[in-house]
Amino acid sequence: MMDYQGSLHKINKQISVDDLNGKVANYIPELANVPEDKFGMYLTNIEGEGSGFGDCNERFSIQSISKVPSLTLALLTEGERVWERVGVEPSGDPFNSLVQLEYENGVPRNPFINAGAIVICDILLNTLKDPKKEYREFICKLSGNSSITYDEKVASSEKLTGHHNRAMINFMKGYGNINNDVEEVLDFYFHTCSIAMSCKELSEMFLLYANHGKLLSTGEEILSAKRTKRLNALMQTCGFYDEAGEFSFRVGLPGKSGVGGGIVAIYPNMYSTAVWSPKLNEKGNSTAGIAALEMLTDITGCSIF
Ligand code: GLN
């Protein structure tokens, strides 16, 4: 049995957020209010036992980490047809890049860049009766925690400043890849990004992806083993935008980041872990988060590679 608690203890002792570079995201004004010295990490093993340190129980904005449950819910409600509207290739471009969309006729490279997640939200607006309510309930179900909800302040803040996303969705609408009203889709997308969760809650929610698509608590199969394999493959190749290669190189696990400073990573059959530190590098990924995960796979001597 791995001593995860011991590994986390070493990470907590060795990583000092003050010594690492990075800036808190400020293009969503509400996120700029989060203190930059926050740092927490939590790991839940495949038996459901957890350990953590620091601010691991404090909720933060999960932002693009939500792109994973969004895709999961779209696969459950729309099935494989989602792949007619979004690709599965790494983008090699920033999360909010517009250029690729023009070359590729409004079909986003993958569901984990903004344009791709916006198409997924457009799909969910058609497949769900009450999208915001059902999306929240889905997150609560996956994480086994009924108190998780949207941070309305973050959602409204992004609505006011989300000009890049507004440009992308209008562009895709021009190519016929958005069915609903653009503001309705954006409102839903900004809400999915505004979900607030702690590292502990995120690691518990993502255990599903380490457990062949089954909830640990009830054994219920949410995703088939095949779909889980595909989702994990997408996290590996697309979870960090134009830093996906570097993350694989340093950490060696499938994962997903968000501009709130959170990163989740999973090790199939072993564990799910989440780390939070709001200072981001120029690619929009948490600097301390990547350092902590790199230390974890180094100390334990285990990665999927
Ligand atoms: N809500 C953010 C945006 O659309 C999410 C980006 C991210 O976390 N990388 O810009």
Span 278-296, pLDDT tens digits: 999 999 999 999 999 999 9
Is the pTM higher than 0.85?
yes
Q: Are residues 174 and 250 in the same domain?
A: no
Q: Which atom of ligand 1 is nearest to the CA of 284?
A: 9
- CATH classification of the domain holding 175: 3.40.710.10
> Whose CA is closest to atom 6 on ligand 1?
64
Instruction: Give the residue carrying structure tokens 């996906």.
Output: 244
Q: Are residues 282 and 190 in the same domain?
A: no
| 64 C-alpha to ligand 1 centroid (Å) | 5
The predicted-structure confidence for 94-108, as pLDDT tens digits, reads as follows 888 899 999 999 999
The predicted-structure confidence for 199-256, as pLDDT tens digits, reads as follows 999 999 999 999 999 999 999 999 999 999 999 999 999 999 999 999 999 999 999 9
The answer, yes or no, to whether any atom of ligand 1 lies below 6 A from the CB of 157, is no
Instruction: Please report, as a single letter, which amino acid is at residue 241.
Output: Y
Give me the number of domains the chain comprises: 2
Distances (CA, A) of 24 to 32, 164, 168, 237: 6, 19, 24, 25
Burial profile 9-39: b = 16 or more Cβ within 10 angstroms, e = fewer? eebbeebebeebebebbeebebbeebebebb
| Domain limit, last residue, from 127, 160, 195 | 195
Q: Are residues 45 and 21 in the same domain?
A: yes
Name the percent of the chain lying above pLDDT 90.
95
Q: Are residues 88 and 165 in the same domain?
A: yes
186: in domain: yes
Mean pLDDT confidence for 80-93: 95
> Whose CA is closest to atom 4 on ligand 1?
114
Whether the per-residue pLDDT at 2 is higher than 90: the answer is no
Least confident of 91-95, 121-125, 135-139, 301-305: 91-95
- The CA distance from 94 to 84, in Å, is 23
177: in domain: yes
305: in domain: no
Q: Are residues 54 and 88 in the same domain?
A: no
| 114 C-alpha to ligand 1 centroid (Å) | 7
Q: What is the mean pLDDT of the chain?
A: 96
The predicted-structure confidence for 157-169, as pLDDT tens digits, reads as follows 999 999 999 999 9
Of these ranges, 1-10, 97-106, 191-200, the one predicted with the greatest mean pLDDT is 191-200
Q: Is 249 exposed, middle or buried (0-12, 13-18, 19+ CB in 10 A)?
A: exposed
Q: Are residues 77 and 190 in the same domain?
A: yes
Mean pLDDT confidence for 121-140: 98
The answer, yes or no, to whether any atom of ligand 1 lies below 6 A from the CB of 258, is yes
| Domain limit, last residue, from 195, 219, 245 | 195
Q: Are residues 93 and 180 in the same domain?
A: yes
Q: Which of 98, 151, 158, 169 to mutate to test the pocket of ligand 1 (most atoms within 8 A of CB)?
A: 158
The answer, yes or no, to whether any atom of ligand 1 lies below 6 A from the CB of 259, is yes
Q: Which of 24, 27, 28 to mutate to test the pocket of ligand 1 (most atoms within 8 A of CB)?
A: 28
Q: Are residues 180 and 154 in the same domain?
A: yes
Whether the per-residue pLDDT at 79 is higher than 90: the answer is yes
76: in domain: yes
CB-CB contact of 191 with 256 (8 Å): no
Mean pLDDT confidence for 33-52: 97
Whether the per-residue pLDDT at 1 is higher than 80: the answer is no
- Angle formed at CA 279 by CA 202 and CA 36, multiple of 5 degrees: 90
Q: What is the pLDDT of residue 145?
A: 96
| Domain limit, last residue, from 149, 168, 195 | 195
Q: Which atom of ligand 1 is nearest to the CA of 96?
A: 10
The answer, yes or no, to whether any atom of ligand 1 lies below 6 A from the CB of 66, is no
**Domain that residue 101 falls in:** 64-195
Instruction: Give the residue carrying structure tokens 């494989």.
Output: 80
Q: What is the pLDDT of residue 243?
A: 95
Q: Are residues 129 and 189 in the same domain?
A: yes
Q: Are residues 257 and 295 in the same domain?
A: yes
Q: Are residues 225 and 143 in the same domain?
A: no
51: in domain: yes
Q: Are residues 44 and 113 in the same domain?
A: no
